A and B are shown apart, each in its own frame.
Chain A
């Protein structure tokens, strides 16, 4: 099985391939996969979309 571990930009999905542990990025528009060059463990890996923000945690309006 191959497991999706997170969502990237523009609806790309990151998948871990079971046969070689490689992390690949799947472009859902084209169906093309790209190798990220990182081997990750099953069920212990996550990808999180993150936008840098230097505002303090206590609320953006303060």
Chain B
């Protein structure tokens, strides 16, 4: 399912591309957002987050990558404040609260799993998973536990799909978006795989990781788009090894 691949190929994805570096500067202990541009990234400009992320001290992260110049930014603490933001025009769109989830008297955690563009409906979508915190007295309400936001309707709807949530919650670089399909890592004791969710058809496909890669110890896994393909990076203890493989899951997820 995964094949070896060279990464030197030119891809139109990289025409006039800039880089956003969102980081915690370990020299002066501050959060910073920079835009790098130019052939060798010689131009560096500091950017400010839009309201309300410019006035709080919690971590603001960018989900996935920019789509048509629009970024999905969120608070890393609860994944409850989400804003779609175009840094070039400074236009921003605050994603509303999903009131359907506030009905329950349960505490819950959100985890954003995907942000992408639905080519069929010309719409931006966000996929979010909800985890209810069960206790001795009450069981979590019945599912579904998946919600999808549509920018066009500016509302959330529940997704009746049976798919596994991301194995690595609240980590950076563990998801990828390509051509209308959101990808993230799923895992059971026996298997590691990539879950690919198509934003237009609302159908998921899973792609199994070869067992020798599943068996790695002390591993961090990342997903990235390299030259127009979804690539997985396995990063494991002591020896730094970049295992870049192409997953056919991105093709499957599209069909």
**List of 7 A-B pairs having minimum Cβ-Cβ separation, nearest first:** A53-B69, A41-B24, A45-B23, A11-B7, A29-B8, A44-B24, A50-B66
Whether A51 contacts B122 by the Cβ 8 Å rule is no
Q: How far is the CB of A6 from chain B (nearest CB, A)?
A: 7
* Chain B residues closer than 8 Å to A4, beta-carbon distance: 173, 222, 224, 233, 235, 242
* Nearest chain B CB to A24 CB, angstrom units: 12
Nearest CB to that of A43 among chain B residues?
Answer: B172
Binding site for A on B (CB under 8 A): 6-11, 13-27, 31, 35, 41, 59, 61-62, 64-66, 68-71, 84-89, 91-93, 122-124, 151-152, 171-173, 220, 222, 224-227, 233, 235, 237-238, 240, 242, 244
Contact B21 A39 (CB under 8 A): no
* Count, chain A residues at interface, CB 8 A: 42
In the complex, which residues 1-50 of chain A have their Cβ closer than 8 Å to any Cβ of chain B?
1-11, 13, 21, 23, 26, 28-29, 36, 38-41, 43-50
Interface residues of A (CB under 8 A from B): 1-11, 13, 21, 23, 26, 28-29, 36, 38-41, 43-62
B8 lies within 8 A of A28 (CB): yes
- By the criterion CB–CB under 8 Å, are B71 and A49 in contact? no
For B151, give its contact among A7, A9, A23, A58 (CB under 8 Å): A58
Nearest chain-A residue to B14 (Cβ)? A9
Would you call A53 and B68 a contact (CB within 8 A)? yes
A32 to B18, CA, bound (A): 21
Q: Which residues of A contact B26 (CB under 8 A)?
A: 21, 39-41
Which of A11, A28, A38 has its CB near the most chain B CB atoms (within 10 A)? A11
Q: Name the A residues within 8 Å of B237 (CB-CB).
A: 1
Q: Contact at A57–B10, with CB atoms within 8 Å?
A: no
Could you tell me the distance between the alpha carbons of A2 and B237 in the complex, rounded to whole angstroms?
A: 9
Instruction: Say whether B69 contacts A47, CB under 8 Å.
Output: no
